[in-house]
Amino acid sequence: MARLRVGVLISGRGSNLQALIEAAADPAYPAEIVLVISNRREAQGLQHATQAGIPHEVIGERDRGVFAAVADAALRRHRVELVALAGFMRLLDTGLVEAWCDRMVNIHPSLLPAFPGLHPQRQALAAGVRFSGCTVHFVRAEMDTGPIIAQAVVPVHDEDDEDRLAARILASEHRLYPLAVRLYAEGRLRVEGNRVAVTGGVIPDIAPLNPSG
């Protein structure tokens, strides 16, 4: 069966890109990464694309509209069906977001709608929450909003600093993003207003407490 063609947009390290590449290395995985776009030439993540033999482009255009036009053309040229933002640090042109409505997803390292924007782990520590996590959602024009596809919960430890919490959340991101893309590729997501219905989704039976004793 033809696999879903995914284009990934990055700006930096690219560990989520690598998690998607590793998931797609399994021929049974229903999606493949066919294009990586970076807005920064020095993005480390480009090396993951190179190593995996995935076509990649650097689009350094500073003008938002021009960036959108060039990116959109590249995505269409590579017959991309789903765009996955993975540590992509630029605000996207509204027209581009609308053109890819319900076909563009993002991962954010907090339990949205809590802590959108920059430094979500720092925000979580400052707020004193006992749990944080990560969210994969469909992209809408306003930053870090849009129907939520999947979330992972991560406990906050008393001795956490921003880096320790970020590392714990990142490990869960690497599991959550391939799962969410798989659900999309399997045609199991239906957007209903601001909610996403997941056909055949397995809801875990958890009631965690933190601290739990």
- In the complex, residue closest to ligand GRF by CB: 87
* Binding segment toward ligand GRF, per CB under 6 A, in 1-9, 76-84, 106-114, 186-194: 106-114
Residue closer to ligand GRF by CB (options 14, 146) is 14
Find the part of the chain contacting ligand GRF (CB under 6 A) among 34-42, 69-77, 103-111, 179-187: 103-111
Site string for ligand GRF, 25-54 (x = CB under 6 A): --------------------x---------
Asked whether position 16 contacts ligand GRF by CB under 6 A, the answer is yes
Q: Does residue 135 interact with ligand GRF by CB under 6 A?
A: no
Q: Give the dihedral sign, CA 46/34/179/58.
A: positive
CA 19/CA 126 separation, integer angstroms: 29
56 is catalytic: no
Residue 177 contacts residue 84 (beta carbons within 8 Å): yes
Instruction: Using CB under 6 A, pick the residue from 84, 86, 149, 156 that binds ligand GRF.
Output: 86
In sequence order, what DSSP letters do the residues of the chain get, joined into one string?
-PPEEEEEEESS--HHHHHHHHHHTSTTSSEEEEEEEES-TT-THHHHHHHHT--EEE----SHHHHHHHHHHHHHHTT-SEEEESS--SPPPHHHHHHTTTSEEEEESS-TTSS-SS-HHHHHHHHT-SEEEEEEEE--SSTT-S-EEEEEEEEPPTT--HHHHHHHHHHHHHHHHHHHHHHHHTT-EEEETTEEEETTPPPP-----SS--
Give me the least distance between CB of 11 and ligand GRF, in Å please.
Answer: 7
Q: With binding defined as CB under 6 A, does residue 170 bind ligand GRF?
A: yes
CB nearer to ligand GRF: give 21 or 86.
Answer: 86
Closer CB to ligand GRF, 93 or 121, in the complex: 121
Q: ω before 208 within 30° of 0 (cis)? A: no
To the nearest whole angstrom, how small is the minimum distance from the Cβ of residue 87 to ligand GRF?
3
Single out the segment in contact with ligand GRF by CB under 6 A; choices: 11-19, 49-57, 151-159, 188-196: 11-19
Binding site for ligand GRF (CB under 6 A): 10, 12-16, 45, 86-87, 107-109, 170, 173
- Any idea which residues carry the catalytic annotation? 108
